[in-house]
Chain A
Amino acid sequence: MKTLTLLQAINEALDQAMAHDDRVVVYGEDAGFEGGVFRVTAGLQEKYGKLRVFDTPISESTLTGSAIGMAINGLLPVAEIQFDGFIFPGLTDLVTHAARFRNRSRGQYGVPMVLRVPHGGGIRALEHHSESIEAFVNAVPGLKVVTPSTPYDAKGLLLAAINDPDPVVYLEPKKIYRAGRQEVPNEMYEIPIGKANVVKEGTDMTIVAWGSIVRIVLKAASMVLEEGINVEVIDLRTLVPYDKETIINSVKKTGKFMVVTEAVKSYGPASELITMVNEKAFYSLEAAPVRLTGFDITVPLARGEKYHFPSEEKVVSYIRKLHKEKA
């Protein structure tokens, strides 16, 4: 057991997967020699050679499209999209082929690829470097979408994604790449895809979050605990296919439901989760469910970020309001 950052945990997962299985190849724009702009893939080319760890021309369309061909022809490609907002040229092949090849070929060709995407905002970056793409990728039948919030989950979820027979989009909360360390087992292990994690038990309301937002919600939850509000916090971990049961059981216990995400409000992931809760646990609800999200705007540049991304203070304020609602 050693303590790793989330970024190091991803690197370790890639390293061990490559050592364990010759079929795993890792590539992307600047992902080879340099080890990626965030250094997530640092050291891998030295260790596994240029044939299995390589830099590509700047073409997200070929990044995703070539992964499909590699997966069909016997490899387990792990491709890196450099920043969330660069994925759009790559969506064509992801949506029109990766997600559909199994169906189109009636199961003859699965596409066991992983698309790693440094994801989300709050890092004071340029335009297109702070986006939330859940609303785009979550709605594509045939794709799986996961995102860790801790180093432990980062390693286990990535290993599960690499071993999954279907294409998995792995969203990396880049804001917390180096935000803290956690004990991570030396051996290989998997966090099952499709299982959420109750990271804090509580009785007064259920909050679902994922990625870097989980930390913010946990801090807010500990702040309101002093006021006597006991929040249950669920880290969704897998966005598709997501764990309904854990959410429903929690809402049945607490009677109140909130989703906190930096993704868009309208037609965004919070809408799906709240609809599901309304369908499955409507009569357990004591108040209208709440979505605390990013605005339906272009993600602002650094100086405007403070308004856009849900902050601890805003989460606290929304918790207090929801807590006051009476059935």
Chain B
Amino acid sequence: MFKVYNGKKDKVYQILNEKGVIINEKDEPKLKKETLLKMYKTALLARQADIKGLQYQRQGRMLTYAPNMGQEATQIGIAAAMEERDWFSPMYRDLSIQLYRGEPLENIYLYWYGNERGSIKPSGVKNLPINVIIGSQSNIAAGLAMASKVRGTDEVTVFTIGDGGTSHGEFYEGLNFSGAFDLPVVAVIQNNQYAISTPTHVATKADTFAQKGVAFGIPYALVDGNDVLAVYKAVKQAIDHARKGNGPSLIEAYTYRMGPHTTSDDPSIYRTKEEEDAWAKKDPLIRFKAYMISKGYWSEAEESAYLEELDTYIGDVFRKVESYGAEVALEEIFEHTYKELTDELKEQIKEHKQFMEEL
């Protein structure tokens, strides 16, 4: 598919259309029922966790929160195509991938609640902490993959980046390095149409982001990012290619950020209701659900029951986070600056403790 879907604007790889109908039967991935259920249920969890996260923030209970709403298909497609042993070098809007690959919602909420402990990953979950600075995950991915090559392991490293992130030099520098050494890297541009308020056409004259792959000399493709099957298929192919030692690939997943950039953002300033409504019809969950029902793997009744279950679950998780998330001991903010506390840091702790005792 990387040869046919060549980064031209009118060549968007799609398997599942907006109505949830398979339009490209020979490419439909043969996924097991359990896998598809895990994919769909994680997408629903991510969507509900976003809706609730935004509500908690408005209630003054959650701090700044960056929802992934609208991008679930892109992210679930990526995560499902990865093996457990593969590395993930994330951007900051990757909730569905985080959840699918085994990060507990409790940790993720704890992070957005303002506590670094939320970035601790369960053992064996090879997701790096989310990357708030733009673009540099491409460099880190190159290093992870270089180490895999030097050590002779067969891990692949996947990194995500936004359309805005491709304006950063590091995106090019890191991927060029990965290309030069044939490193096992898969880069996915989540083109959600906006870098906060700046639309893609203001940020680049390039027709598509996929075509940037030409300059790296690596395979590239433009994929419907709201089609979970197309993303899965493309990323899987890129991962297989990388694992065989053939080097990196670049995929542009064309999608839409249905929510705000973060809770500090008001999209009504820079986009129209008509635009949002048009994209709402392309909501990735609508077609995913239709596909699951058509397969006989899901029903409306199961959907209602599961949403209810999620409502309770997410509420419980957040209340748990609230119960302890604000407790941070003074030593905690110092103790991981270096492996061992320096004398200077010990002194700074001591001085502040004296001040606290004097209060």
Contact = CB atoms under 8 A, between A and B. Distances in A.
A142 B120 CA distance: 18
Nearest to A51: B150
Nearest to A25: B150
Contacts of B128: 72, 105, 109
Given A57-B180, A92-B170, A68 B140 contact: yes
A67 B143 contact: yes
B119 A69 contact: no
A65 B140 contact: yes
B174 interface: yes
Contacts of A241: 338, 342-344
Given A72-B128, A106-B119, A65 B147 contact: no
A104 B343 CA distance: 21
B217 to A, nearest CB: 13
B173 A62 contact: yes
A103 B177 contact: no
B149 interface: yes
A73 B87 contact: yes
Given A52-B150, A61-B173, A62-B174, A106 B336 contact: yes
B79 to A, nearest CB: 20
Interface in A10-69: 25, 51-52, 54, 56-57, 59, 61-62, 64-69
A280 B116 CA distance: 34
A75 B339 contact: no
Contacts of A92: 133, 136, 170
Most chain-A Cβ atoms within 10 A of its Cβ — which of B140, B142, B145, B157?
B140
B89 A69 contact: yes
Contact of A104 (B87, B129, B147, B157): B129
B151 A74 contact: yes
A73 B143 contact: yes
Contacts of A144: 338
Interface in B100-145: 116-117, 119-121, 128-129, 131, 133, 136, 138-145
Contacts of B133: 92, 96-97
A110 to B, nearest CB: 6
Contact of B139 (A51, A68, A103, A194): A68
B336 A102 contact: yes
A69 B148 CA distance: 10
Nearest to A65: B139
B342 A75 contact: no
A101 B339 CA distance: 11
Interface residues of B, number: 44
Given A73-B87, A74-B151, A61 B343 contact: no
Interface in A179-218: 194
A106 B117 contact: yes
B146 A166 contact: no
Interface size on A, as a range, is 35 or more
A18 B173 CA distance: 27
Main secondary structure of the interface of B (DSSP, over half): helix
B169 interface: yes
A107 B340 CA distance: 11
A268 B322 CA distance: 43
A124 interface: no
B354 interface: no
Contacts of B59: none
B337 interface: yes
B144 A69 contact: yes
A66 B139 contact: yes
Interface in A70-117: 70-75, 77, 89, 92-93, 96-97, 101-110
A323 interface: no
Given A75-B151, A103-B336, A110-B339, A93 B144 contact: no
A244 interface: yes
B119 A72 contact: no
A199 to B, nearest CB: 22
A70 B143 contact: yes
Contacts of B119: 104-106, 108
B176 interface: yes
A277 to B, nearest CB: 14
Contacts of B116: 103-104, 106
Most chain-A Cβ atoms within 10 A of its Cβ — which of B129, B157, B170, B338?
B338
Most chain-B Cβ atoms within 10 A of its Cβ — which of A65, A72, A101, A102?
A65
B150 A72 contact: no
Nearest to B176: A57
Contacts of B138: 65
Contacts of B170: 61-62, 65, 92-93
A194 B342 CA distance: 9
Given A59-B176, A66-B174, A93-B136, A105 B143 contact: no
A11 B169 CA distance: 32
A66 B146 contact: yes
Nearest to A67: B143
Query: 5 tightest A-B contacts by CB?
Result: A69-B143, A65-B139, A73-B147, A66-B143, A69-B144
19 contacts: A51-B149, A52-B150, A57-B176, A61-B170, A62-B170, A65-B174, A66-B174, A69-B140, A69-B147, A72-B128, A74-B147, A92-B170, A93-B136, A104-B116, A105-B120, A105-B129, A166-B338, A241-B338, A241-B342
Given A77-B143, A93-B170, 11 more contacts: A52-B150, A65-B140, A66-B143, A69-B143, A69-B146, A75-B146, A75-B147, A102-B339, A106-B120, A108-B120, A165-B338
Interface of A: 25, 51-52, 54, 56-57, 59, 61-62, 64-75, 77, 89, 92-93, 96-97, 101-110, 141-142, 144, 165-166, 194, 241, 244
